[in-house]
Amino acid sequence: MTTHEWFIEHRTAFVARTLEPDEERSFHEHLAGCAECRAELERIERELAWLPMGAAPVRPRPGLTRALVDGAIGTRRRSPGWLIPAGLAAALLIAVGSWSWARRTVELARADFDQQRTRLLQELAMVRDTLGIIRTADKVRHASITMGERHGGLVIFADDRTHRWNVVVYGLPAPEPGEVCQFWFITGTGMVKSVEVKTDGGGPAFLTLPMPATGGTVMGAALTMEPAGSTTDTPQGTELAHLMM
């Protein structure tokens, strides 16, 4: 079993959090560089989203609902005056309150930090992933595109090991109103619709695409200008570029 196969086999275990702590850490590190596993984990999470509802419900203690709301919002109930102790007791309460506030603040900061760290790791992983495909591409193909006075192009970096392409579309103007720029795979059984390419005449558009699940062997790609909202599975509009691998 290869390393990646191990991760594939343990995706559900990762979602269910049944891996050992060191395996879980390895999985987190792997995810930073594997878009395929990240996508699959999202799918598994959706499929098992309601599984926790298998646990028997527990009726809250009286007053808990209000306490949970107050706790989340951070409000404190006013203590009756006769309960407020003087001197040392007050100081003690303040100390305890400060400690509690500090702990909650730290917990919230930790939650924020964790979320930001996860996002940064994911962004870093996407960048690494993109560069990885470019660096190890088995084939690189280019086609020039001319639209009026604009000269742009389509570049495909094909990575046969991960069966993914990095696609760069550059120099194209934004589509006319009612049109979209559509990317197609040319397969052994015909054209397979892929994604819309956002071109705005500014910077290049970058795409990382897995091979289509249908249509057989991928032999090339095409870029067309299609009517917006078109639901047909075959190109209807103007072909901008056509590349065979």
Partner 1 sequence: MTESGAPAASGGGSTPAGRGSAERVLTLEREASLQERLLARDERALVELVELVTPWLLGVAQGMLSDRDEAEEVVQEAFTIVWRRADLFDRESGRLVPWLLRITRNRAIDRLRARRRRSLKTTCFETHAAGEAGWTQAIEPNEAALPGWQVHETVHSALRELPEDQLLVVRLAYFEGLTHSEIAGRLGIPLGTVKTRLRLAFDKLRGRLASIRDWVT
Residues at the interface with partner 1 (CB under 8 A): 9, 12-13, 16-21, 42, 44-61, 64-65, 67-69, 71-73, 104, 107-108, 111-112, 115
The smaller minimum CB distance to partner 1, of residues 54 and 80, is found at: 54
Separation between Cα atoms, residue 157 and residue 217, nearest integer Å: 17
Cβ-based nearer residue to partner 1, 29 or 45: 45
Contact (CB, 8 A) for 209 and 194:
yes
Structure tokens at 188: 């052994």
102-112 b/e (C-beta count within 10 Å ≥ 16 → b): eeeeeeeeeee
In whole angstroms, the minimum distance from the beta carbon of 98 to partner 1 comes to 18
Task: Enumerate the β-bridge partners of residue 180.
Answer: 226
Q: Give the nearest distance from C-beta 192 to partner 1 in angstroms.
A: 24
Q: Which is nearer to partner 1, 64 or 90 (CB)?
A: 64
Q: How far is the CB of 138 from partner 1 (least distance, A)?
A: 32
Q: Cβ(130)–Cβ(226) under 8 Å?
A: no
Shortest reach from residue 90's CB to partner 1, in Å? 26
Nearer to partner 1, 57 or 87 (CB): 57
- Residue owning tokens 């072909």: 239
Q: Which is nearer to partner 1, 63 or 177 (CB)?
A: 63
Place of tokens 């901008």: 240
Residue 19: CB minimum distance to partner 1, A = 7
Q: CB of residue 106 vs partner 1: minimum separation in angstroms?
A: 12
Nearer to partner 1, 60 or 204 (CB): 60
